[in-house]
Each structure stands twice: as C-alpha cells, then as structure tokens.
Amino acid sequence: MIRRADPEVVVVGGGPAGATAATLIATRGHAVTLFERERFPRYHVGESLIPETFWVLDRLGILPQLRGGPFVEKHSVQFVSEQGKVSEPFYFSDYKEHESSRTWQVTRRDFDQLLLDNARAKGVQVEEGVRVLEVLFEGPRAVGVRVVDDAGQERTVRCRVVVDAAGQSTVIQDRLGLRQWDPLLKKAAIWTYWKGAARDMGRDAGATLVMQTAGKKGWFWFIPLADDLTSVGVVADFDHLFKNRATKDPEVIYAEEVACCPGLQPRLVGAERVEPFRIAKEYSYRSRQVAGDGWVLVGDALGFLDPLYSSGILLALKSGALAADAIASGLAADNTSAGALGTWGPGYLAGMDRMRKLVCAFYDGLNFGGIVRRHGDAKALLTDILIGDFFKDTIDVLWPLLDEKPEVSRQGAVSAAGADPAG
C-alpha cells in the first residue's frame, strides 16, 4: 500500500527528461518526488537545441525565460566540407514559418537549472544530493526506491510509478539487462571549450557548424554559447580516435584532428582553451523496453543517439512529455501496467529510428544534394527530420531514396555533399 506521505510517482534524475516528466505529471494533480544525486547547477554537455523542442518547452511554460534569457539564438545549421568549403546557412524559418524556427544554444548548467526550478514551482518535491541505490520490485512490478542522501542517511520511498531518468547510469535498464548497444555507431568524442573562437556575424552568429575532417574520418561540432564561449568537439570511430594512435592523450589526439580540419583551424586562431578535455566512448544504445509494470524509462535512460544532428535534448523532452501523459492517464484509470505506461513507446521509437537512419546514412556517405536534385520534393521531408519533426510516418517515403547513391562510394565515409542537406 502507498503510505499517505509517499508520492504517487518517483522520478530518478533531474535532467531535462526527468524535470519534464515530473513537471507535467505534477500539473495533472499528482504527487511527484524527484531525486537528483548531484546538486545543481552542474556541468553537462549537449548544448544545442533544435526547433521542435519548442512544443514541449511551451507546455512547460518556460519560453518567456528563454526569450529573455542569456542563451545564444540559433537560426540555422551550416556544414563545412573536408576542404573547408562552407555551405549556405540552412535557415529553419525558410522551411517552417513559425516562432519554433528560432531556437537556442544553451549552457546546460543554466538550462537544466531552469527546468528543475520550474519543476519545483509547478509542485514537484525536488531533493538534490540524494542518490537512488536501487529500484524496489515486488515480482515484476516496481513499487518504490531505496535512497541515500549526501549525509549518509538511507530511507525507502514507495510509489505507484518509478520514472528512470538517470541518464546513461540508468537504474532500471542495466538491472533488468535491457541495454542494447548500437553495432553501427561505435563512435567516440573528445571536446573542450574555447574563448574567443571566430563565429559569424548577425543572424548567423549562433549557427551550429558541422565540419568534416580530412579523409572523411570524422567531424567537429562548433556550438557558439553565451559569454563568447564555444563548445568544440570531434566525433569519429572509436578505433580511429583511440586505437590507432601513438598516444592516448586526448589533448594530443584533439590537436591532431584539428590539424585535419581546414574549416575549424582559422576559427581557433587567437582563441584560448578554457576548459579541460572531456571524452565519451561508444555511447549509442537503446533499451529493449520503454516501460514495465510500475516503471518507465525516459531520456538517456531509455537510449542515446549519436549527437550529429543535435537531437539529444529533443529526445529527452519528448520522451519525458509522452511518458508523463501516459503515467497521468494510467494513474487516473488505476492502471500502471506495462501496457498502459508504454503506450507511447512504438511511435517514439519509430521517430528515433528515423533520426538514426539519417545519422547512419551520413556516415555511409549519403549525398543529400544528389537526392534533392533527383527528387526535389524530398527536400521538405529531409528538413522535417533535421528540425526534429521526425515522429510522423509520412517521412518514411525517404528511405528508398537514401539507397540511391550513384555518385557516392559506399566506404563508410562522409562525403562533402552529404554534409550539406541544403543541397
């Protein structure tokens, strides 16, 4: 039985997915407790929003803070070939005339703090510095959690639904053996932050740049942030970055990759590195299940996809919102079974699969420009995916077109044309 003092829902993790789920469940009138092991503000990578985040941010009620906040506005993406040739800006508003076409490059410590503070304001009981030691099960059903605070005090909290939003350190996925690593996306990343890196002017000042390295072996992200700070990271096959090197020093590897990226080099002239190097390895995976009896996975606890198209925060917000709606409906109907809590799963995973297909096609040498030249009506559908509107089956007519690559060698390389979705 649920004790009077116990919440109906426990959310594990206070990042974008957890804060979103907790907020939207609480606004439906349910008692929600969120446990976050760290104390905010804290560092996190993944700074670039894409336009379709607008709709969940609107539901959360935080658009006014974003509009008037410190974050850099993002209106476009640009792609840079291995020779350093820069594409025309890919302006989101050219394809969707709506306020959602303006988005932001966010500093995650501030963005995540905003989401968590919003959860508190909407009625969520937020406890920071509290680590979930385990999810409690009675048979196949999750019934609560055992936690410990940073003073070492342990306690048990029972609930009707546990939402695992604990990121890659998920408390349910690994316990139940649900994690599936992606066999095609065995990538790694090295990144840091620069002060004074050269960015474009005016409307293009906040553009995300995707820059290929020579030999088409990887790519750099270039994300302009507030206070003249820029996030710059390289992504490539794990073996390329770490196995076939004379050194394992990330600073040396990073410098060698910069030397292979003509598009990036001039932007770092006179810039100062102001943060240490950070590494992520072989990070693409997915759970075999979205939900079970009394539990749900959201955000990175459900799965993580390669960062190529900046889909991470959208997937976190979207899964958090969808799960919240299913949980609230399940609580109202007194049905917290796997079927009830996971109704949103098939549609969400289908959308994630669509983005994954475009990611894999990029690494396989997809020529976007060639597709557009042969099939002009495909441009709008490609755009839908790139802005994050990939949760609809009308996009599926694209997939046969992706296999039409008469002008591109299938050697697992990223072509210059393939890096320019604007065609």
DSSP string, 227-262: TTEEEEEEEEEHIIIIIS-S---HHHHHHHHHTT-T
- How far is residue 198 CA from its own chain's centroid? 25
**Does one domain contain both 67 and 169?**
yes
Domain contains 412: yes
**Does one domain contain both 175 and 291?**
yes
pLDDT of residue 414 exceeding 50, the answer is: no
- How far is residue 140 CA from its own chain's centroid? 30
Domain that holds residue 136: 9-71+106-181+285-343
Other C-beta atoms closer than 10 Å to the C-beta of 343 total 17
pLDDT of residue 367 exceeding 70, the answer is: no
Domain boundary among 281, 296, 326: 281
**Does one domain contain both 291 and 324?**
yes
Q: How far apart are CA 204 and CA 206, in angstroms?
A: 5
pLDDT of residue 50 exceeding 60, the answer is: yes
pLDDT (0 to 100) of residue 365:
75
Q: What percent of the chain has pLDDT over 90?
A: 76
> Which residues are CB-contacts of 153 (< 8 A; sequence separation ≥ 6)?
none
What's the CATH code of the domain at 138? 3.50.50.60
What's the CATH code of the domain at 197? 3.30.9.100
Q: What 8-state DSSP symbol labels residue 319?
A: H
Which residue from 301, 351, 323 is spatially nearest to 175, judged by alpha carbons? Answer: 301
**Does one domain contain both 126 and 65?**
yes
Domain contains 275: yes
The number of domains in the chain is: 3
Q: What is the per-residue DSSP string for 86-101? A: BPPPEEGGGT--SGGG
**Does one domain contain both 317 and 171?**
yes
pLDDT of residue 403 exceeding 90, the answer is: no
What is the band of 4 on the pLDDT scale with cuts at 50, 70, 90? very low
Domain boundary among 281, 297, 325: 281
Domain contains 66: yes
Based on C-alpha coordinates, what's the Rg of the chain?
22
**Does one domain contain both 247 and 195?**
yes
Q: Which two tokens stand for residue 53?
A: 């985040």
Domain contains 78: no
Domain boundary among 248, 263, 281: 281
**Does one domain contain both 276 and 289?**
no
Residue 320 · residue 166 · CB < 8 Å: no
Domain contains 94: no
pLDDT (0 to 100) of residue 47:
97
**Does one domain contain both 167 and 302?**
yes
**Does one domain contain both 113 and 207?**
no
pLDDT of residue 299 exceeding 70, the answer is: yes
What is the band of 1 on the pLDDT scale with cuts at 50, 70, 90? very low
**Does one domain contain both 308 and 273?**
no
Interval 258-279 mean pLDDT: 97
Domain contains 124: yes
Domain contains 53: yes
**Nearest-10 crossing angle of helices 378-387, 345-363:** 110
**Does one domain contain both 151 and 193?**
no
pLDDT of residue 90 exceeding 90, the answer is: no
**Does one domain contain both 16 and 142?**
yes
pLDDT digits (tens, 9 = 90+) for 146-180: 999 999 999 999 999 999 999 999 999 989 999 99
Higher-confidence residue of 408 and 69: namely 69
Domain contains 48: yes
Which residue from 365, 397, 366 is spatially nearest to 384, judged by alpha carbons? Answer: 397
pLDDT of residue 410 exceeding 60, the answer is: no
pLDDT digits (tens, 9 = 90+) for 348-357: 999 999 999 9
pTM over 0.85: yes
Q: How far apart are CA 164 and CA 147, in angstroms?
A: 14
pLDDT (0 to 100) of residue 369:
64
Q: How far apart are CA 279 and CA 164, in angstroms?
A: 24
